[in-house]
Structure 1
Amino acid sequence: MRSPTTLAALAGALVLALGGCGLFDEDETTSPTTTTPANTTPPATTTTGPRPAVVDAGDSPRRALRLSFTKGATTTAALTFDLDVSQESQGTTQSLDSPVVTEAVRFTVDRVDGDEADISFAFTEVGLDRAGTDLTDQEYSELTADLQDLVGVGGTGRVTEQGAFTAFSYETPADLDPKVADTLRQFEDQLPTIVVPLPTEPLGIGGRWRTTTTTTLAGITLDQTTTYEITDLTDQTMAYQATSQQSASEQDIDAPGLPSGTTVRLISSDVSGTSSGALELDSLVATTTSKLSGTQEIDLSEGSGPPQRLTQRLEAVLSVKTSG
């Protein structure tokens, strides 16, 4: 069995890259739980898509769904992220419990340019809930202090009336703490979850569309397909539910934080999820709850030794509430 430090570093990389998704397939006997905060700095995300494609136009009446922008308008998104990870190797299982992370992000429409808008955003609050973890008072205080550096950090972007983010960038100090950089990477990866991409064609209740994305993060390239369905539609509000499937082909992983001489190869990854929410068409962010789960198989090798198989199962819940 690899050391907890090695496995925790690997978990941090994979959770960031695969969206913190996982599934406990069966009951297992676990070793004592350990709490391990991620403190790696993965490479920047690169994403292609999403590309909305209509599957079913839904019932009549139908209409084109578009965001509307007002200069100076603000939306605050309160995000809560909860993650559980279980790792099994050579008949031994350990759990890595992370504290629940809460973040508040304020979005502002700075300029409207036709069917697009320039926006800015900033983190206004960050917190941790350590219930259910084994964090000591000192560890909790240190983590909380580290995350407070995130308050005030922000950036800019451009969003289309169909919910596509472009020109996304952070405005960060040169000496930004690596742990804060991790949180920023996670937030960037969560944007497709809290902003709903809208298709070109008119839709009605029951309308469905599908998006596909390819993302590279922490050295892992993965594909995700998400199918949305309209469950209710009024003049300004679209209620929806969605299912997603995420996969990654066999590939080597450049996982930060692992001991020198350790090589990692992702053998398989199967992650799925569901979400439901509501999008106010005059807001940038949807109110939503997303649940994701999946299993990853990884081979770890140290030096010239033979690879050892690690099975990692993850469960994550992301909830987003919005206010004006």
Structure 2
Amino acid sequence: MKKSLFVGCLVLLMAGCSQKSTSTPTSAESPSTSTQLAQESPKTPSTTQSNVELINAGTEPKQQLRFTPAANTKQTLQMTMHRDMTMSVGGQTQPTLDSQSIKTTMESEVKQVDANGDIHSDFSYTDADVVAGKNTPPEMVNAMRSQVKKLVGLRGSMIVDNQGNTKQANFNLPADIDPSTKKMVEQMVNSLKQLSSPVPSEAVGIGAKWRIPHSVTANGMTVNENYTYELIELKDKVATLQVSLEQQAESQKINQQGLPPGASIDLKSMNSKGNGKLKMALNQVMPMSSTMSVRSNSQMSVKDPSSEKTTTMDMKVSVEMSLESK
């Protein structure tokens, strides 16, 4: 397989993961001419059906967890995602691609809180960059940096109910935005729901567990995932949760824009497991801090259009994510 195609496939797959992980709400300078991408109608918020499945209500005393930030509440969030990857192509182990980090800075502000508890926020990306490891090919670093940098200056708004369910999310984009960036932001809009951490409608106590299942399509791949949360501390309206994640994707063709003409990627299997900790203040809309460690194994076949040869690729990826807000 030509190196350019090999690297191109990796960039597309890895960029898709980074978009999903860093798609946290933000606010910036408004472009003079803009268009709007919306998850729901930009005029009328939808009523949201929570998909939280309560497993165990925990011990007494119990209380309902509800988000109650005041208008004008501001947060600055700094997120770092560090990635290591090993792979084999056609049965041959490739050099390890290590120490690749994506760092972003985001700002959010609560604009209003409705009588029913709906929280309206503005958000923006103020900084984003890629920090490469010594074994990461420069062409991959440059390609990913060019994509990640496009986040800077993007602004939008969201509406979240007082249980943490995202009811509406919008991004304002320049009218002349290029197709690749528009596609990236569309994926970001779709992933905003996955960034929220909805809480049960029922009263819960220490030891409570709940599950949130998702079926998401990102970067041309459909993935089934389950987040499980356990409440381990609740003090002064600050909840601390243990988080676990399971992801699984069936065999499928990955319909990814940007592949060379005639090239194709067929996913054979993908499984991921992760765990971490989340701390959230109920008087804020964004987490106070979060850490997550994920390990993923996948196998796919890549068709080279120049030779019609199909090559099997096995990939193991470890991702460490951290978020701090102030």
- The answer, yes or no, to whether TM exceeds 0.5 is yes
- Displacement of 1:184 in angstroms is 4.6
Match of 2:59 in 1: 59
1:120 aligned partner, one-letter code: D
Aligned partners of 2:140, 2:303: CA distance in 1, in Å? 30
Match of 1:15 in 2: 14
Aligned partners of 1:49, 1:297: CA distance in 2, in Å? 35
Higher relative contact order (CA 8 A, sep 6+): 1
- Displacement of 1:45 in angstroms is 11
Aligned partners of 2:273, 2:311: CA distance in 1, in Å? 26
Q: Does 1:241 align with 2:242?
A: yes
1:316 aligned partner, one-letter code: V
Aligned partners of 1:156, 1:297: CA distance in 2, in Å? 37
Which of residues 121, 124, 137 in structure 2 aligns to 1:122?
Answer: 124
1:107 aligned partner, one-letter code: S
Q: 1:234 and 1:64, CA in 2 relative to 1: closer, same or farther beyond 3 A? A: same
Aligned partners of 2:145, 2:77: CA distance in 1, in Å? 20
CA contact (8 A) 1:205 1:231 kept: yes
Match of 2:314 in 1: 311
CA contact (8 A) 1:20 1:292 kept: no
SS in 1 for 2:273: strand
Q: 1:201 and 1:242, CA in 2 relative to 1: closer, same or farther beyond 3 A? A: same
- Displacement of 1:122 in angstroms is 0.7
Aligned partners of 1:130, 1:169: CA distance in 2, in Å? 31
Match of 1:172 in 2: 173
Per-residue deviation, residues 101-145 of structure 1 (Å, max 9, x unmatched): 211111111121121011110112223433535576x99899768
Match of 1:39 in 2: none
Per-residue deviation, residues 240-294 of structure 1 (Å, max 9, x unmatched): 1111100111111112332221222111110111110211111112210011111
CA contact (8 A) 2:84 2:317 kept: yes
Match of 1:109 in 2: 110
Match of 2:77 in 1: 77
2:120 aligned partner, one-letter code: D
Q: Under a length normalisation based on structure 2, what TM-score does the superposition of the two structures give?
A: 0.80
Match of 2:90 in 1: 90
Q: Does 1:291 align with 2:290?
A: no
Q: 1:145 and 1:218, CA in 2 relative to 1: closer, same or farther beyond 3 A? A: closer
Aligned residues: 299
Aligned partners of 2:175, 2:244: CA distance in 1, in Å? 39
**Percent pairwise identity:** 22
Unaligned runs of at least 5 residues, structure 1: 22-43
SS in 1 for 2:151: coil
Q: Under a length normalisation based on structure 1, what TM-score does the superposition of the two structures give?
A: 0.80
Aligned partners of 2:142, 2:92: CA distance in 1, in Å? 31
Aligned partners of 2:143, 2:310: CA distance in 1, in Å? 35
Aligned partners of 2:218, 2:128: CA distance in 1, in Å? 23
Deviates more, 1:87-96 or 1:63-72: 87-96
Match of 1:68 in 2: 68
Match of 1:4 in 2: 3
SS in 2 for 1:84: strand
- Displacement of 1:84 in angstroms is 2.0
